Chain A
Amino acid sequence: MKLEVRDLNVWFGERQVVAVDRLDLDRGETLGLVGETGSGKSLTAYSIAGLAPGMGARVEGSVTLDGRELIGLSDRELREIRGRRVAMIFQAPISSLNPVFRVGDMFQRALRLHGAGKQDARRLAAEAMNAVALSPDLLRRYPHQLSGGQAQRVAIALAVALRAEVLIADEPTSALDVTVQAEILEQLQALRAEEGIATLFISHDLAVVSGLCNRVAIMREGRIVEQGPVGTTLREPRHPYTKQLLAAVPRLSAVGSADA
């Protein structure tokens, strides 16, 4: 699996909102896309997933998945790819699930759409739930009966069940409590190790990205100002904006640092 983005330009009317030269994502890799409000990070992700034209944006450039061009595909072809190879999870996990279906029905629909039989679909759904540390009992619930953390796990489980190769995660933990966030992050990390899923992780939080991602790309005003391996980029930032972002992260003193 290899996802390559080249010269991606996105416009709303006359206003260019994204101008990304180059972005690569390999199997088993987690790439953090970091920026502040209006930096174009989400729109970049939506463009990669083929969702931007539906929002009224004009997209130019090239996004290839294993050499196949995704820009300009028909809605039908895109849906096939989105369901199967590229999965997406969002910031508001509960509202991103269809409220009228039970969790189990969602798995059934998605899996059978991609050719699984009824029994197989049931088994795969239960396996996927186990893989994200959720009880398969939750398959009987409706989205509003889940907590935010559970709903986000269900969204991830759907991606697992469909054997997605690329996961695009748009601020998936920003609306969650820190304790729940820690659990979800741990889950995403395990998924990478076990399933080799490549993740494009969109976030405003450098601390989260530093712990989860292998590589990081810093966006500002639609452009990537700096990208590289997480460790070196955040330890030795080159671009002044990266330095500014790092300086603004509020830090907590270490445990045990106070004199008892």
Chain B
Amino acid sequence: MSVAATIRPGRMAALRRNPTLVAGGIVLGLIVIVAVFAPWLAPYPADAGNATHPFQVLAPPSSAHPFGTDLVGRDLLSRVMFGARISLRLVIEVLVIAGLIGIPLGLVAGYFGGRIDQVIMRITDVFLAFPALLLSLAIAFVLTPSVQNMTIAIAVTWWPWYTRLVRGEAASVTTRPYIESCRVLGVAPWRVLLRHVLPNSMTPVLVQMSLDAGGILLTAASISFLGLGAQDPTPEWGLMVSQGAQYFSTQWWFVTFAGVSILLTAMAFNMIGDGVRELLDPKRVISR
């Protein structure tokens, strides 16, 4: 009977019972604040660029440089702070590009079915046949290494997942009576797609996107670590880890703070992803 319907908590109560989302949100909130206000918060904003300070190369953490300095004497705290801007922007850009390509294709495939569906799904299958990281690396290798091109390389491998997800959802929404009644009424297909199929297919995509953010960040860090992404003097965390890796045993601070930043941000994203999933799609949590 209407057992499920009788348990409908308010939004606030839902948040209270969702500590993962709150904790992840707080950590990410702090990172966003750092990113936005980096030029004002960073002790040496110029060190985010190609400033060099030959006399303080690889200085250990001190009150002047809490995170120490790097190979050319730049303040690592400042670089890590500016790095947050790059990482967050990259994650958002990848999600937006992948969403803008993936979601419309999935909607069209799922709603119209037939020939269009087959063509679109064949193409996504080709992309999905390669391991994502490998494909991103290959694309990044072909393009000139830069943050911009790395963003493109990741987005290109990411959209097919959203196409597939949206297609499944759209195909199932399309068979619901409220869509069928629109077809019988003669409502224009594009309108049915935008006003009905799209909003009712978005929940799993939003959940997936929030879960993916951490993965995108790690992918970017890996590409930069391998030298195919951000280039010096860009204060990208993956690149900083790569630069500092060989000094780990002697100058531990060089690699550690950038590495911890990647870890913390990825973790915050994942916690938010889990929280969003629980909030929007409780059924899937139970089934795992």
Contacts and interface: CB of A to CB of B under 8 A. Distances in A.
A55 B1 CA distance: 11
B2 interface: yes
A210 B173 CA distance: 41
5 contacts: A12-B3, A15-B6, A41-B1, A55-B3, A56-B7
B3 A43 contact: yes
In the A-B complex, the 9 residue pairs with the smallest Cβ-Cβ separation, listed nearest first, are A42-B1, A12-B6, A55-B3, A38-B2, A15-B6, A12-B7, A43-B1, A37-B2, A56-B7
B6 A37 contact: no
A240 interface: no
Interface string A1-27: 000000000001101010000000000
A41 B1 CA distance: 9
Nearest to A52: B3
Interface residues of A, number: 12
A37 B6 CA distance: 13
B14 to A, nearest CB: 14
Interface string A36-65: 011001110000000000011100000000
A14 to B, nearest CB: 11
Interface in B28-46: none
Nearest to A91: B1
Contact of B1 (A13, A15, A37): A37
Contacts, number: 19
A43 B2 CA distance: 9
Nearest to A35: B1
Interface of A is mostly: mixed
Interface residues of B, number: 5
A57 B1 CA distance: 13
Interface of B: 1-3, 6-7
A15 B9 CA distance: 13
Nearest to A45: B1
Nearest to B3: A55
Nearest to B6: A12
Given A12-B7, A37-B1, A55-B3, 9 more contacts: A12-B6, A13-B6, A13-B7, A15-B6, A37-B2, A41-B1, A43-B1, A56-B7, A57-B3
A12 B6 CA distance: 7
A38 B7 contact: no
A13 B6 CA distance: 9
Nearest to A171: B1
Contacts of A15: 6
A122 to B, nearest CB: 36
Contacts of A17: 6
Nearest to B5: A38
Contacts of A13: 6-7
A117 to B, nearest CB: 38
Contacts of A38: 1-2
A51 to B, nearest CB: 11
Contacts of A42: 1
B148 to A, nearest CB: 52
A43 B3 CA distance: 9
A17 B6 CA distance: 9
Nearest to B2: A38
A41 B3 CA distance: 12
A15 B1 CA distance: 15
Contacts of B2: 37-38
Contacts of A41: 1
Contacts of B7: 12-13, 56
A228 B6 CA distance: 30
Specify which of B1, B2, B3 lies most central, judged by the most chain A CB atoms within 10 Å of its CB: B1
Contacts of B3: 12, 43, 55-57
Contacts of A12: 3, 6-7
A43 B6 CA distance: 12
Contacts of B1: 37-38, 41-43
A28 to B, nearest CB: 28
B10 to A, nearest CB: 12
A222 to B, nearest CB: 12
B215 to A, nearest CB: 35
A30 to B, nearest CB: 21
A15 B3 CA distance: 12
A17 B7 CA distance: 12
A204 to B, nearest CB: 11
Contacts of A55: 3
Contacts of A56: 3, 7
B7 to A, nearest CB: 6
Contacts of B6: 12-13, 15, 17
